[in-house]
Chains A and B, each alone.
Chain A
Amino acid sequence: MAWYLGRVGQYGLVLLVAMTFNFALPRAMPGSPLRYLAGEDVGLLTPAQVADLRASYGLDRPLASQYVAYLGDAVRGAWGFSYQLGKPVAAAIRERLPWTLLLVGSSLLVATALGIVGGAIAAWRRGGRFDTAALSGAILVDALPTFWLGMLFVAAFAVSWRLLPVFGAYTPWGDRSGWPFALDVARHLVLPATTLTLASLSGTFLVMRYAMLDVLGQDYVRTARAKGLPERRVVLGHAVRNALLPVSTVVFLNLGFLVGGATVVETVFAYPGVGTLLYQAVLARDYPVLQGAFFMLTVSVLLANVLADAVYPLLDPRVRRGG
């Protein structure tokens, strides 16, 4: 219980820091915060209009009361108005979020599965051909810029092979319902998800391999072998099961990285998620959208962590007992 309270406290702190960061940035920059909240065009307004606008954003009130009001707005999802898109920031993000969840979720799933299996095999056959190849592969892939990997896929598939779509999340003029649509979405997902999976594979793989090596050297594994258990049961029943514990924490630590990777991958493939929204906001200097997208991504990472905390005791009975 104390463990849960500590975790929840930490997440609350991260949330508060993210909100404070968003509150402080426009106000800490030189010049009027209006430039960041309402757009660069405020320079063209008359003084009376500027005063009106300041009042409507609450900028005429003391900083402390602005802060309290800001926190309330942030929690309620009132994240300001996008002057570029002409709609509330929260609405713009809500349209995009499902695509990012689909992309990040499928990549996380595949990368975790491949990382666990690969790490287990590599550790079991330590120093073997697969281990050597996978280790060098992991180091190599870690050095590649994620967006460049995506660009190579675009080049290969859009320009040369034309097997898979490289643009968007669905065919814009196609049917939007039923199995054909699902298939269309899946085809559009393949390349971005493959890019993101490749980019995030090495983390899980390396931790699984290391944890497996650790477990394989333990006394109970030696005992299991000594009492004549078949190798398959030693590896699957004893080693893999216990090695999964440290991996489960890393999987969710990986999520912050995945969300960042999704930003550049979506940009490369013009995938209509929060990452592309972030990119368009950068180009248009649409500050409210930038801040809203950052906040939404932070909240997503925290929610995933909460989920991990709920799953972890199922894997590790020691936590369940409160030990």
Chain B
Amino acid sequence: MGTPLTVPLAGADRAGPGARQRPWLAALFRTRAAAFGTVVLAVVLATALFGRALAPYDPREVVARPYQPPSTQHWLGTNDIGQDIFSELLWGTRASLTVGLVAALAAVVVGTAVGVVAGLAGGWIDAVLMRATDVVLTLPFLPLAIVLAAFLGPSLGNTALVLALVIWARPARVVRSHALGIAGHAYVEAAHALGGGFGHVLRRHVVPAVLPLALSQFILAVSSAILAEASLAFLGLGDPIQKSWGSVLFYAQSRGAFLSGAWPWWVVPPGLLIALTVLGFALVGRSLEAVLLPRLRGR
């Protein structure tokens, strides 16, 4: 499209640290959708922190007969070997959320570094880094992750590593185009002309201007990482020791939740949890993007 992504952030930048924090908080409750996302995320975060303490049973233990429908003792019934599904989901929240956060953080740190260096350095460094980014973007995302995860072996740490390896390319692209815009600005050229070195320009001008973008990219990356983790776990590549939302669905699919008629309380709740969490991150991420980077909206 014709509009180059030269977004001057100098204004937001010079207003000092206090002013930079307020749009941040405002973004969390700016619209009804953003407020909904914020509340959902707060609840999910609390569940991740305290869910294990609140769980009525240990989800690794057999506590009742298999395939029990919901009752006052077992709110979401029991699975094929008699574990409490409600407790499984409470425990799984921490695993799913941790994988999503860790993978997204690693991916965005790498992606931001690649994007900033490529955008500022230009020349052959830019060309090489962007070729590499395009290669990763062209490879089919999920099959690539499946092969990597199968070789590395199923564990939550490996899942996070695999997801970081396939997710970093998108933030790198976005951050690079932003860094390119900054590098072309008069105040950056002035800093160069006044004798500011590469490191100085990077620290003083580029990193502060790129950070808001990196933050919104991080939040969007969390939602895709949580979805991808669920897909990998569903395909049998989840950690066999740790329960996650995706692995509950894997067992539901492979152990006959449909044949037994247990799907309303075995299949529906974990999917809803994933969807709500991903939606929460997406809504908050969009709101942040709109506040911090108005011109990038609708990308």
For B249, the chain A residues whose CB sits under 8 A away are 145, 147-148, 151
Min Cβ gap A155→B in Å is 5
Question: Taking the complex as formed, is B125 at the interface, i.e. its CB lies under 8 A from any CB of chain A?
Answer: no
Quick one: which of B1, B151, B268, B282 contacts A143, CB cutoff 8 A? B282
Q: Which of B142, B231, B246 has the most CB of A within 10 A?
A: B142
Separation of A149 and B108 alpha carbons in the complex (Å): 28
Check B282–A152 contact: CB distance below 8 A.
no
- Expressed in whole angstroms, the Cα–Cα distance for A214 and B297 within the complex equals 13
A151 to B271, CA, bound (A): 10
User: Counting CB contacts under 8 A, is B144 at the interface?
Assistant: yes
Q: Are B150 and A267 in contact (CB under 8 A)?
A: no
Contact A17 B231 (CB under 8 A): no
Q: Are B138 and A256 in contact (CB under 8 A)?
A: yes
Is B279 a contact of A140 with CB atoms below 8 Å?
yes
Q: Does B283 contact A (CB under 8 A)?
A: yes
Chain B contacts for A50, CB-based, 8 A: none
Q: What distance in Å separates the Cβ of A285 from its nearest Cβ neighbour in chain B?
A: 7
Residue of chain B at shortest CB distance from A259: B140
> Across the interface, do B135 and A14 meet the contact criterion of CB distance under 8 Å?
yes
Q: Which residues of A contact B141 (CB under 8 A)?
A: 256-257, 260
A102 at the interface (CB under 8 A from B): no
The number of A-B residue pairs with CB atoms under 8 Å apart is: 147
Are B235 and A264 in contact, CB atoms less than 8 angstroms apart? yes
Q: Is A297 an interface residue (CB 8 A)?
A: yes
A298: CB under 8 A from chain B? yes
Shortest distance in angstroms between B129's beta carbon and chain A's nearest beta carbon?
13
A51: interface (CB < 8 Å): no
Chain B contact residues: over half helix, strand or loop, or mixed?
helix
Is B237 interfacial (CB-CB < 8 Å)? Answer: yes
B267 touches A147 (CB 8 A): no
Contact, CB under 8 Å: B267 / A282? no
B28 beta carbon closer than 8 Å to chain A: no
Q: Decide yes or no whether A2 CB sits under 8 A from chain B.
A: no
Contact B138 A278 (CB under 8 A): no
Most buried by A among B146, B261, B271, B282: B146
Residues of A within 8 A of B151 (CB): 25-26, 29, 36, 287
CB-CB under 8 A from B222, the residues of chain A are none
Q: How far is the CB of B93 from chain A (nearest CB, A)?
A: 15
Residue total for B at the interface (Cβ-Cβ under 8 A): 49
Given contacts A13-B131, A25-B151, A214-B1, contact A147 B234 (CB under 8 A): yes
Residues of A within 8 A of B274 (CB): 145, 148
Taking the complex as formed, is B258 at the interface, i.e. its CB lies under 8 A from any CB of chain A?
yes
**What mask results when residues 134 to 164 of chain A are scored 1 for a CB within 8 Å of chain B, else 0?**
0000011011111110011011001100000
The answer on a CB contact under 8 Å between B146 and A290 is yes
Known: A139-B283, A151-B253, A154-B258. A14 touches B146 (CB 8 A): no
Q: A143 CA to B37 CA in the complex, in Å?
A: 12
A204 at the interface (CB under 8 A from B): no
Task: Tell me if B189 is interfacial: C-beta within 8 Å of chain A.
Answer: no
Is the pair A10, B140 in contact by a Cβ cutoff of 8 Å? Answer: no
Q: Is A57 an interface residue (CB 8 A)?
A: no
Least CB distance, B159 to chain A, in whole angstroms: 13
Q: Which residues of B contact A305 (CB under 8 A)?
A: 138
Compute how far the CA of A29 lies from the CA of B149 in the bound complex, rounded to whole angstroms: 12
A267-B144 contact in complex given A143-B275, A145-B275, C-beta closer than 8 Å:
no
Say if the beta carbon of B193 comes within 8 Å of chain A: no
Residue of B nearest to A218 (CB): B2
Interface presence of A82 (CB below 8 A): no
Is B11 part of the binding interface, using a Cβ–Cβ cutoff of 8 Å? Answer: no
Contact B275 A293 (CB under 8 A): no
Identify 23 residue pairs between A and B in the complex whose beta-carbon atoms are under 8 Å apart, listed by A's number. Answer: A10-B135, A11-B138, A17-B135, A17-B139, A29-B151, A142-B278, A142-B282, A144-B271, A144-B278, A147-B234, A148-B249, A148-B270, A210-B299, A246-B1, A256-B138, A260-B140, A263-B142, A263-B143, A267-B235, A281-B150, A290-B150, A301-B139, A301-B140
Query: What 8 A-B pairs come out closest when comparing CB atoms?
Result: A260-B142, A148-B271, A143-B279, A143-B278, A259-B140, A256-B140, A294-B143, A294-B147
Beyond the given pairs A139-B282, A155-B264, 14 more chain A to chain B contacts, judged by CB atoms under 8 angstroms and listed by A's residue number, are A13-B131, A14-B139, A139-B279, A145-B234, A148-B267, A151-B249, A246-B1, A267-B253, A278-B143, A287-B150, A294-B140, A294-B146, A294-B147, A298-B143
